[in-house]
Structure 1
C-alpha cells in the first residue's frame, strides 16, 4: 500500500520530504492540504493536532516533521545509497547542516514572506531587517563552506541537500543571493538540476503566482 503524504507541492518543507521519496523511488498517495478546506484540515488534525505539514501515514504509522520523515523513509526504503550516512561522524554533520538550512535559511526566509502577506500597518520592519541580516550571514557562511564541495557535506547527496534545495530556492526569491557568493549560487543551480528537486519545482510551478513577493523574473526555465 502506498504511503499517504499530507502536504502541499509549493511548501519547502514538503518538498524537502518529497525529495527523499523521489530519490528512493517511492510511490505515495497525495493529500493536498488546503487551510480553507475543513474536511482535509480535520483529517490532518486527527493525525497531528498541531496541523503542520508534512505528515505521512505508512501502514497505520504516522510520521511527523520533514527531517524525521526523510530519516524514516531512508531507513526503511533506501535502495543502493543512503541519505543519512551510516558513519556516525558524517551523520552528525548531515544532521547539523539540515538544521542549519531549516533554522538559518528557511526561518528568516519565511519571515520575509509572512511579513509581505500582512495588511498595511501590521508590517514588522525590524523583524524583516533582522531576517535579511541572518540570510546574508548564512549566505556568506555557506559560500565559504561550498567552495570545495559538490553537495552539502561533500560528494554524497544527503538529507542536508534535501533541505537545502527548497530552502535556497525560495530564499533567493525572497532575498536574492548576491553574485559575489558564486559558490553558493552554483550549489543552488546544482540542486535545481537534481532530478528529485527538479520534479518538486515542476510540481509547484502552478502555484508561483500566489507567492507574495514580486519575483516573476526568478527561475523561469
Structure 2
C-alpha cells in the first residue's frame, strides 16, 4: 500500500538518517528529504520540537503520522510498505532481526561512538593515544563477536539482507574508513562487501565520513 510521499528531516551524513534513506531505497519508496541538524539548524526551532521532542534527526512524516527514532522508523516502513523480506512477520525470524537491531543500539553504538568522536570530530581534552588505543581495541572485540556469528551465514540475521544489516551499515562503513589498524576478520569483511554491493548502500552510505 502506497501512501503520500514521505518527508524526511535530516542531513545525509547522519548515521541514523542513512538507515532510513537506505531502507527507503530497498523498499522503492519515494521521499522528500529536508536538510536538518548541525550546520543546517532547525532542531531548536519550536515547530521541529513539536514533531520530535528529542530534537534529533531523523524525523519522518508519513501522511499525518510523525515518526522518530531511526530503528523504529525502519520497522514502521517495512511493516507499512511490504518489506517482509527485510523484516519478516514470522515471530522467530523477526526476533533474530530485532535482537541485532537492539545489539546495534546497546553494544555497537557505545563502542564505535567514542572512536568516531576521537578520530573524526576530536574535541579539546579528548582521549590520549593510549586511551584511543583502548577504545579501538574494545570496538574490535565487538566486531569480533559479529565476525564469529557471520561465519555461519551471509547476513546478520540469516540468509538475506534485513533491517539488522541496515541498522549496522553506517558503523561497518566507518570501521573500514577509520585510519586505524584492524584485526583480520574475514567474515566481517565479506559481509561488508555484500552490503556495499547494494545500490542503497552505495548511494547513501559511501560518502565522506564526517
TM-score (norm 1): 0.82
Equivalent residues of 1:34, 1:41 under 8 A apart: no
Consecutive unaligned residues of structure 1, counting only runs of 5 or more, are: 212-221
Residue of structure 2 equivalent to 1:35: 38
Residue of structure 1 equivalent to 2:201: 197
Residue of structure 1 equivalent to 2:152: 148
Aligned length: 204
Report the Cα offset of residue 44 of structure 1: 2.6
* 2:48 aligned with 1:48: no
- The structure-2 alpha-carbon separation of the partners of 1:144 and 1:44, relative to structure 1 and needing over 3 Å to count, comes to same
- The structure-2 alpha-carbon separation of the partners of 1:129 and 1:178, relative to structure 1 and needing over 3 Å to count, comes to closer
Equivalent residue in structure 2 for 1:186, among 190, 193, 198:
190
Report the Cα offset of residue 179 of structure 1: 5.2
Structure 2 distance, partners of 1:65, 1:109, is: 19
Taking the TM superposition and a 5 Å limit, the aligned residue runs for 1:46-125 are 46-78=50-82, 81-116=84-119, 117-120=121-124, 122-125=125-128
- The structure-2 alpha-carbon separation of the partners of 1:78 and 1:86, relative to structure 1 and needing over 3 Å to count, comes to same
TM-score (norm 2): 0.86
Query: Residue 148 of structure 1: SS of its match in structure 2?
Result: coil
